[in-house]
Chain A
Amino acid sequence: MIRIVSFRKAALAGAAGAAAWEAALRPLLLAGVPTADIVRSLGTLVIPEGPAWAWWAVGMGMHVAVGVLWAVFYAYFWWSLLRWRPLFQGLAFAIAPAALAILVMYPQLGVMHASQRVLHVGPWTLAAQVAWSDRAGLLLGHLVYGAVLGLLYTRPVGYPAGRPPRLPRARGAARSLRRAEAREGSFIFATGTECSYPTVEDGRWRRDQMLAAGHYRHWPRDFDLCVEVGVSHVRYGPPLHLVLLGPDRYDWSFCDEAMHGLRERGLVPIVDLCHFGLPDWLEDFQNPEVPAALAAYAGAFAGRYPWVRFYTPVNEMFVCAKLSALHGVWNEQRKDERSFVTAVCRLAKANRLMIDRILLRRPDAVFVHSESGEFFQACCPDENILRTAEFENQRRFLPLDLLLGREVDETMRGHLRKHGMPDEEYDWFMGDRTPCRTVLGVDYYESNEQLIDTDGKPQALGELFGWYVIAMQYWDRYQLPMMHTETNRMDARDAPRWLWRQWHNVRLIRKAGVPVVGFTWYSLTDQVDWNMALGEALGNVDPVGLFDLNRDPRAVGLAYRHLIRMFRDDPGLRDLPELKELLA
């Protein structure tokens, strides 16, 4: 699958486009303008001698059917290739079927109407015989069609934020259930189901990765695939926006089935309770009610699934705050420092309160705080640029500093004060409450290292220093057991190479004495619109998964399985004292 297509929208847009063509051209034809009458040409193929209404009805049916087919083709191959407004995308697309109609289809319709069995004439001669008035009519009709198609076919993925769809019935479980071989105290080999659910378009449109990737329908198969690959743990994020319906109102129906599915397969979930989005009633991360509401949810979750031990209360707080409140992509879509500081505070506070609530239910819970491992390199010795890079290198730690109660430096403290964080709130965070069972997850992608360019703007640098160097900076700062909690590669053919290189980073850093307890290829299946941070509902499939969206393995799926088999019995990874200590 290369693109998620909304067949219903495409069919409606194509049919409307064909109808608009007819509505635009028929009055001209009735007025005697000599131009191509495509509906008549099609209809009289089937009813050559019938009354006008008969050939019109049949011709129109065929015209609409062709319009629908072209619309599906548009949706699959053309939509969003050009970053133009939808109207212009549709108009540009219409040129291709118009050219085909003028050069091939319309002359061939003439041939099909001929009374002979064979014509001794070449196709190009036929095309040259089409009158200019017919060509003009065909071009006009196609442009009308393209304009309507372009205007109507938008946002093929996601749904209006206030109107979640009814979830599809699950299917696709293996006939005989296989169980994962999770061994307590062994190095954690993990994958995850991508579960982001932010809103875009000022909170009106919900992105739902689990829906786009087909997880609600295929979750039994997805869990079977986890077992087949050989992972012991799954980073799994139940859809908060569909479960938490209001204060103390929950819909556990999907969650119950999926959590049971994980459990019966012996897969250990690392439950991700908040992943880049909130339920509609909580609005966004500027809302001061968010921490308490999420804490209540965490408590309810831990009470309902007391067998769950691993939690990521809030996933990638830094990325969530940055894209919601600094870059204006998700949720509140703000672009100012004050909103960013507010979002960071809400997220860190929510995380803290969620931990407290979970510990009430499960005192031995393990918290895997997955955070994006970032680094900013100054391009040149300019003082402003050096200062920007230094500031960004401090800012990347901010949510973790607040969560884990680590003092920030004076520059950052001043920044927090200036942008609305009172001293009392800061002091609350600095209270020493880090639970003893904490793992620091450091995610790493090719875009995580950035160069501050001569304009002071961050630009993606690619893999320069690598996970080892960046994770070591996090280790130096927090001195907590660590895990490589996310990585993948956009180029599917290069993904096995990336996997092995990440793995070598993990092995080397362990050798250097850093207690890394797990590794994750993220995610199990391909994702949708991941390469542009879900900012627009385009439906492009990014081939980053161990499996594609048909659930067929990618090369990296085989490579990961091979890697796990090669290393899971390695004496250095079979019994990790640091992990046993966490689980004791």
Chain B
Amino acid sequence: MMRFLRAHGADPGPTQRPMLAGALTGLAAALPAAAVFVGFGSFEVAADEVMRLPRPLAAALMLAAFTLAGLIYGRLFGRAANDPGAGWMLGLAYGFLLWIAAPMVVLPLLRGPAMAAGTAATGFLAAFLVWGLVAGVLFRFVHRPLHAGLDGDGGRMARIGPSAGLDKLLRRPSR
């Protein structure tokens, strides 16, 4: 899939900052996801019985994890994450994959075979889907103000200036 994304030009290029945008988006999307966690009673189960950590520490860890997940989302999807038509779907799919990975694989590996059940389990799935959906929709709005414009080229000259015409394989380091 990553080869496919690259082949179709998902490379963000020198004007975009997808990882920063992803991290900010991930953090922002954690808020509605947290509301779902709490609403379904999933948070207390996760903190007390699955992670077995003090609740403030568990909450901080979750926020950090969602921020990191957003950063990885931006890195993975790059330019494609800006797509207004498909952003929601990319986010939703990513949230679903995180749901499979986090409470079902990562936590059991780290803390032993304990998983939320009943309504709390439904809350887990719903929270990850909400996080993914919100992150996918929000990404381009968060990202756009972070774009560097066409003006100014800073450190991008190697990618866009006359030296971009050099053959990379034959390029010699300057002394």
- The residues of A with any CB-CB pair to B shorter than 8 Å are 1-3, 5, 7, 45, 69, 72-73, 76-77, 81, 100, 104, 108, 111-123, 125, 228-229, 492-493, 496-497, 499-501, 503-504, 526, 540-543, 548, 550, 552-559, 561-562, 566
Contact = CB atoms under 8 A, between A and B. Distances in A.
Contacts of B83: 1-2, 550
A554 B84 contact: no
Nearest to A552: B82
A553 B159 CA distance: 13
Given A492-B13, A555-B13, A504 B165 contact: yes
B47 to A, nearest CB: 12
The 9 closest A-B pairs by CB, nearest first: A543-B9, A500-B165, A2-B8, A122-B113, A496-B164, A559-B160, A492-B9, A114-B117, A555-B13
Contact of B114 (A76, A81, A120): A120
A185 B90 CA distance: 49
Nearest to B15: A553
Interface string B136-166: 0000100000010010010010011110111
A305 B108 CA distance: 71
Contacts of A561: 150
B134 interface: no
Interface in B7-27: 8-11, 13-16
Given A111-B117, A492-B13, A566-B162, 14 more contacts: A69-B89, A73-B93, A77-B4, A114-B121, A117-B116, A118-B45, A121-B113, A229-B150, A496-B165, A550-B83, A552-B79, A555-B14, A558-B15, A558-B156
Contacts of A118: 45, 49-50, 114-117, 120
Interface string B71-101: 0000000011011111001101100000010
B60 interface: no
A557 B149 CA distance: 11
A558 B14 contact: yes
B110 interface: no
A112 B11 contact: no
Given A2-B80, A496-B160, A526-B9, A122 B108 contact: yes
Contact of A501 (B41, B86, B165): B165
Nearest to B90: A76
A553 B113 CA distance: 48
B53 interface: no
Given A76-B89, A104-B100, A118-B115, A112 B122 contact: yes
B9 A500 contact: no
24 contacts: A2-B5, A2-B83, A76-B90, A112-B119, A117-B41, A117-B120, A118-B116, A492-B9, A492-B11, A496-B160, A497-B167, A500-B164, A503-B165, A526-B9, A541-B9, A543-B9, A552-B16, A552-B82, A553-B150, A554-B13, A555-B11, A558-B13, A558-B159, A559-B161
Contacts of B79: 548, 550, 552
Nearest to A559: B160
Interface centre among A559, A561, A566 (most CB of B within 10 A): A559
B104 A104 contact: yes
Given A45-B122, A504-B165, A550-B82, A119 B115 contact: yes
A69 B129 CA distance: 12
* Chain A contact surface mostly: helix
A116 B125 CA distance: 17
A555 B157 CA distance: 10
Contacts of B166: 497
A419 B118 CA distance: 77
A2 B120 CA distance: 37
B143 to A, nearest CB: 9
Given A69-B89, A497-B164, A554 B82 contact: no
Given A1-B85, A45-B122, A118-B49, A543 B164 contact: no
Contacts of A73: 89, 93
Contacts of B35: none
B1 interface: yes
A267 B79 CA distance: 29
B159 A496 contact: yes
B105 interface: yes
A555 B160 contact: yes
Contact of B4 (A2, A111, A119, A121): A2
Contact of B86 (A1, A81, A125, A504): A1
Nearest to A100: B100
B135 to A, nearest CB: 16
B2 to A, nearest CB: 11
Contacts of A497: 164-168
A468 to B, nearest CB: 14
Contact of A493 (B4, B11, B161): B11
Nearest to A103: B100
A45 B100 CA distance: 19
B140 to A, nearest CB: 8
B8 A543 contact: yes
A166 to B, nearest CB: 19
Contact of A562 (B1, B50, B153): B153
Contacts of B120: 117-118
A449 B10 CA distance: 28
Contacts of B49: 117-118
A229 to B, nearest CB: 7
Given A116-B117, A117-B45, A497-B166, A3 B8 contact: yes
A548 B150 CA distance: 14
B115 A541 contact: no
B85 A7 contact: yes
Nearest to A503: B165
B43 to A, nearest CB: 12
